[in-house]
Structure formats: C-alpha cells, structure tokens
C-alpha cells in the first residue's frame, strides 16, 4: 500500500503553505509570540524548531538549548577514521517526515549492504536467513505455520492507519494529547494497544508461542532491549522496523538535526536548562528559563516553551519546575539502559557453534530471551559513509561490530565474544522507556504554552515518532496561540479531509 500513498502525500506536503501562512500568525488579541524556546536538540527538538519556523514565520526568535551534542540519541563514534552509528540507526521507508527532512536538507540516503541475520538461543543458531527468499518463506511457513502471514498483515494494517497522521498534519490538524492522536488514527484499538502486552495481542491473533519466542522476542530485544511483555503498539512499531525496506542517512543520522536547526535559523545555545518558572504580568503569561552556559548562569523570558527531552528522573535532564500551581510532579516511569559497544576485532564465531570463522555466514545475530545471556545482539556494522567499493569484512578478518547489552560488557565477556580486538568504545544510553502496561501516556500540554514532546515515546520510541510529535506540537502551539480551537482534537478527520479536498 505504501507505494500508492507516497506520491499523494508528497503533494500534500507541498500544499502546506496554505495552512502555515506566516502572515496568519498574529495572536487574535494582539501580537504574535516574539520568543520561543526549545529544550533539547535531538531529532525531536530540531524538528520542532523547523516546524515552529514553518508555522510562526520568519520574525519569531527560536532559541534551542542543548547541554550535550546536537543529535542527542542520534550519535556516532569514530573507529579507524570511520564513523558508526551508536544510537538510533535505521529508518523505515514509510517514515515520511524523516524522508522529507533528508530531501529538503539535500542529504543522501546511505545504501544498505546486504548481510544475513540469525537467531541464537544461547547454545546454537536456531533460525537463519538464507540467500533465497522463497526458501526463507518456506522455512518460516514450515516452522511456524500461518503465524508469519497473520503477523505481517497485522503490522501492515497498523502502519496503514498510522500513516493517516501525515494527512492530518498536512491539513494542519493537531492533538492535545498522545491519546487523542492515537485515537484519531486507530480508534480505541490503538489506545488499548498501548496498554496490553504484545504477547497477548499476538496470541489472540493466532500467532504461535513458538513464533513469539523465536522471532518476535529477538526483535524486541534488539530494538528495545525488552521482552514480549512490552505494549502491543510499541511492539508493532518495532516489527515494522524489522522489515526489509530500511535506510539511514549518509554521513550519520544526526546530520538531520544540525541541518534542521540551521534551516530553521534557530539560535543554538550550548547550555543546560536548569529551571523553568511561569511569570505572570496581568493577563500575560511568560516563562523564565534559567540555564548555564560555559560563561555562567543566565535566564531569559519566553512566550512559548517546548521541552524535547525525557523528563523521567532516570534520564537526569536537570530541568526543575519552579512556582507552578499546582506543583508539577516528576513524570512516572524510567528509561531502560542499553549499552552499545563498538568493537574493532575478530568475532569468536565458536560462540555460535561455528569453530571455523570462514564458514560463518551471518552479519547479525539476534538472541532469544535466555536468562544467562549477557548480550541482546551482535552485528557487523557499516560506516556512515560507504564508498563505492565497500564490502563487508569476512568473519575471519578483523571487522567493526556493534553489541547491544543491558549492562556494560566486562573483560571476560568481551574475550568470549571476540577472539581478540584492537579497540572497544562504549556508549551507555538511557535508550527508550522501560515499558510497562500500567503507566499511561504522559501529557503533551504541561501548562498554557508549555509543551512536552517525549511523551510519545511511551507509545513508541523512534526517530519518526519524535518527528511526528514535533510537527504536532508546532501545530498545537500555533493553533493555541491563535485560538483556533477548530484545528485541535477534531473527530472524524478522515471524513473531514475528504470533504475539504
């Protein structure tokens, strides 16, 4: 279905200016906002700055605060003069915001270099990809019966509904909460999917327990470091990402962030925001942001503020909410830590039952949910710039591998997985929410003109999810400022859009 949707959606993108006309950004009772702050320059914050500029026009000052590196969880590490993605790495072909960013920024797609995947259960390889697509299909069929087809149809149906968001956003519609957004795309079914375990949804669908254990669990482990008890919605996002049509950005995904900030003409402050407080003068409400730069502490006033970083305690954003009535409580839940270890060395293929590395045919190994296993996945990785003559290293040669694990690997674990190595680089991420089914979804509107982007990660954490949330918040901020209530939380949008066209 995606192929048919694409041309139509790019037409919608280019007609956006009708809705986002900057001349329309005057406040109905007065002036447009003069200053907007965005806290965080990951893909969420950078995309927010871009969309804010689109909707509010050239006059407004957009300040973006970043305490670390632009890109946030999109980052690279350098090994032997080449860069490798250490955080978010793959993008689905139907991730239309990411695609549009790459296009308007003049960036290039990085081609993928073929490589086979296998599933390891701690003792042996139990599932392997072959060269021959039909044989793989046949094997999946033989091993798991109808499960495989049912699953594919389920994921496709969810994707198809999810893609309605691009039409709604192109027509300028915004949502005041993640629940409202999901409801408009997939009704109560989508909201329910954020609350029930993936395994329950799949079993109900008729997917076999064996398929869940041997295929679904390994995909959840590599993508979210968690098991099949994670909510069905994020599970579906993750399974969509396990399909074939994937890409990445040449030079590194984080180039999208720096590119968007530049295009938005945003002022980037290398500073940690330490507190935010509401300041009332008569009817007017502004926010004071206190922040620390290398030159010392400062503060500034803003009309609109977007927080584009997780606010759960475990992420340690360091932002304090002062003088809010009622007091603003810290958000419940925590983030899951995932360690990305990039190793330059010789893989010990014996671990997987292949004493002779020359006979080891796999580029990546996923794992089943096995208690004593210390890693979630191991994969040979390609640099962010691939030259024409690039080929993957053979397993008997020294290569670059990425290992995901819940804890840092100790020396003996490294020495088990690698016969020997030249270098090891470790990135410990507060990677994505630690999903549970009872936490609910965090709010988008924290206070008038104060927005929170990362709640969407509790429905699903991915670059595109943050981009969708960024567009939504820019639209929401614009409509709230202009008191356009008919553009927020509207029901029956599919029907409305048809009649608008």
Minimum CB distance to ligand NAG smaller for 163 or for 417? 417
Stretch that binds ligand FAD, among 165-173, 315-323, 326-334, 392-400 (CB under 6 A): 315-323
291 near 308, Cβ under 8 Å? no
87 in contact with ligand FAD (CB under 6 A):
yes
Stretch that binds ligand NAG, among 38-46, 85-93, 222-230, 330-338 (CB under 6 A): 222-230
Say how many C-beta atoms besides its own lie within 10 A of residue 16's C-beta. 15
Q: Which does 273 bind (CB under 5 to 8 A by kind): ligand NAG, ligand FAD, none?
A: ligand FAD
192 in contact with ligand NAG (CB under 6 A):
yes
Nearest to 226 by CA among 77, 122, 377, 111: 377
Q: Which of residues 242-271 bind ligand NAG (CB under 6 A)?
A: 250-251
170 in contact with ligand NAG (CB under 6 A):
no
Minimum CB distance to ligand FAD smaller for 199 or for 377? 377
Question: Distance between CA 427 and CA 75 in Å, rounded?
Answer: 10
Stretch that binds ligand NAG, among 16-24, 148-156, 317-325, 348-356 (CB under 6 A): 348-356
Q: Which does 419 bind (CB under 5 to 8 A by kind): ligand FAD, ligand NAG, none?
A: ligand NAG
Q: Which does 40 bind (CB under 5 to 8 A by kind): ligand FAD, ligand NAG, none?
A: ligand FAD
105 in contact with ligand NAG (CB under 6 A):
no
Site string for ligand FAD, 268-287 (x = CB under 6 A): ----xx--------------
Phi, psi for residue 207 in degrees, rounded to 5: -75, 135
Chosen residue from 208, 226, 309, 341 binding ligand FAD by CB under 6 A: 309
Site string for ligand FAD, 377-416 (x = CB under 6 A): ----------------------------------------
Stretch that binds ligand NAG, among 8-16, 145-153, 184-192, 462-470 (CB under 6 A): 184-192
299 in contact with ligand NAG (CB under 6 A):
no
416 in contact with ligand NAG (CB under 6 A):
yes
Stretch that binds ligand NAG, among 4-12, 148-156, 185-193, 441-449 (CB under 6 A): 185-193
Number of H helices, E strands in the chain: 16, 22
Where are the extended beta strands (E) located within 296-417? Answer: 296-302, 304-307, 320-321, 335-347, 362-367, 377-380, 399-405
Q: Is the dihedral of CA 218, 219, 220, 224 positive or negative?
A: positive
467 in contact with ligand FAD (CB under 6 A):
no
174 in contact with ligand FAD (CB under 6 A):
no
Stretch that binds ligand NAG, among 88-96, 286-294, 332-340, 347-355 (CB under 6 A): 347-355
95 alpha-carbon distance from chain centroid: 10
Minimum CB distance to ligand FAD smaller for 120 or for 321? 321
67 in contact with ligand FAD (CB under 6 A):
yes
Where are the extended beta strands (E) located within 348-398? Answer: 362-367, 377-380
Nearest to 213 by CA among 128, 302, 121: 121
Q: Is the dihedral of CA 65, 457, 91, 20 positive or negative?
A: negative
The number of residues that bind ligand FAD (CB under 6 A) is 36
319 in contact with ligand FAD (CB under 6 A):
yes
Minimum CB distance to ligand FAD smaller for 286 or for 309? 309
Q: Which does 206 bind (CB under 5 to 8 A by kind): ligand NAG, ligand FAD, none?
A: none
Question: Distance between CA 108 and CA 447 in Å, rounded?
Answer: 39
Nearest to 304 by CA among 25, 110, 2: 25
Smallest distance, Å, CB 66 to ligand FAD?
A: 5
Question: Distance between CA 239 and CA 207 in Å, rounded?
Answer: 14
473 near 453, Cβ under 8 Å? yes
Say how many C-beta atoms besides its own lie within 10 A of residue 406's C-beta. 15
Nearest to 45 by CA among 59, 60, 25, 65: 65
- Verify cis geometry, omega within 30 degrees of 0, for the bond prior to 21: no
Query: How is the beta sheet containing 304-307 ordered, strand by strand?
Result: 267-270, 61-66, 35-39, 304-307, 450-452, 445-447
Question: Distance between CA 125 and CA 188 in Å, rounded?
Answer: 40
43 in contact with ligand FAD (CB under 6 A):
yes
Half-sphere CA count of 482, side-chain side, radius 13 A:
21
Q: Which does 155 bind (CB under 5 to 8 A by kind): ligand NAG, ligand FAD, none?
A: none
348 in contact with ligand NAG (CB under 6 A):
yes
Question: Distance between CA 16 and CA 112 in Å, rounded?
Answer: 32
Q: Is 399 helix (H, G, I), strand (E, B) or coil?
A: strand
- Interface with ligand NAG by CB under 6 A: which residues? 108, 187-189, 192, 227-229, 250-251, 348, 350-351, 385, 416, 419
- Interface with ligand FAD by CB under 6 A: which residues? 39-45, 65-68, 72-74, 87-90, 272-273, 308-309, 317-319, 338, 340, 429, 431-432, 454, 461-464, 466
């Amino acid at each position: 279905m995606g192929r048919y949707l694409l041309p139509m959606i790019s037409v919608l993108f280019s007609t956006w200016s009708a809705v986002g006309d900057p001349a329309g950004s005057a406040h109905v009772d007065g002036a447009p906002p003069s200053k907007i702050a965005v806290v965080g320059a990951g893909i969420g914050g950078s995309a927010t700055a871009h969309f804010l500029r689109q909707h509010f026009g050239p006059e407004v000052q957009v300040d973006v605060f970043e305490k670390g590196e632009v890109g946030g969880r999109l980052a690279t590490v350098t090994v032997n003069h080449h860069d490798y993605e250490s955080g978010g790495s793959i993008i689905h072909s139907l991730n239309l915001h990411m695609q549009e960013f790459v296009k308007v920024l003049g960036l290039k797609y990085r081609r993928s270099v073929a490589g086979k995947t296998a599933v390891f259960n701690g003792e042996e390889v139990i599932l392997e990809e072959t060269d021959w697509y039909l044989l793989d299909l046949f094997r999946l069929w033989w091993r798991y019966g109808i499960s495989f087809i049912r699953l594919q149809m389920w994921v496709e149906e969810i994707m198809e509904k999810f893609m309605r968001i691009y039409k709604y956003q192109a027509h300028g519609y915004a949502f005041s909460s993640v629940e409202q957004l999901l409801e408009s795309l997939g009704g109560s079914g989508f909201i329910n999917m954020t609350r029930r375990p993936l395994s329950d949804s799949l079993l109900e669908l008729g997917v076999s327990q064996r398929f869940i254990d041997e295929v679904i669990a390994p995909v959840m482990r590599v993508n979210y470091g968690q098991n099949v008890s994670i909510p069905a919605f994020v599970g579906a996002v993750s399974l969509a990402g396990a399909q074939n049509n994937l890409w990445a950005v040449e030079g590194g995904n984080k180039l999208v962030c720096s590119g968007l900030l530049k295009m938005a003409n945003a002022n980037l402050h290398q500073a940690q925001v330490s507190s935010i407080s509401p300041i009332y003068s008569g009817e007017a409400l502004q926010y004071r942001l206190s922040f620390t730069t290398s030159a010392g502490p400062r503060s500034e006033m803003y009309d609109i503020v977007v927080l584009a970083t997780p606010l759960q305690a475990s992420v340690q954003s360091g932002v304090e909410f002062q003088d809010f009535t009622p007091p603003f409580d810290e958000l419940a839940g925590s983030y899951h830590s995932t360690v990305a270890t990039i190793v330059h060395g010789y893989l010990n293929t014996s671990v997987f039952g292949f004493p002779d590395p020359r006979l080891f045919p796999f580029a990546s190994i996923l794992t089943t949910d096995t208690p004593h296993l210390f890693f979630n996945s191991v994969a040979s990785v390609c640099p962010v710039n691939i030259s024409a003559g690039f080929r993957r290293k053979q397993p008997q040669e020294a290569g670059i591998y990425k290992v995901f694990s819940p804890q840092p690997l100790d020396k003996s674990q490294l020495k088990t997985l690698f016969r020997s190595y030249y270098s090891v680089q470790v990135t410990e991420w507060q990677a994505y929410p630690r999903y549970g089914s009872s936490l609910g979804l965090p709010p988008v509107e924290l206070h008038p003109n104060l927005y929170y982007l990362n709640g969407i990660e509790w429905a699903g954490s991915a670059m595109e999810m943050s981009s969708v949330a960024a567009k939504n918040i820019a639209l929401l901020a614009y409509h709230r400022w202009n008191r356009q209530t008919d553009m927020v939380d509207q029901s029956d949008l599919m029907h409305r859009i048809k009649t608008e066209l």
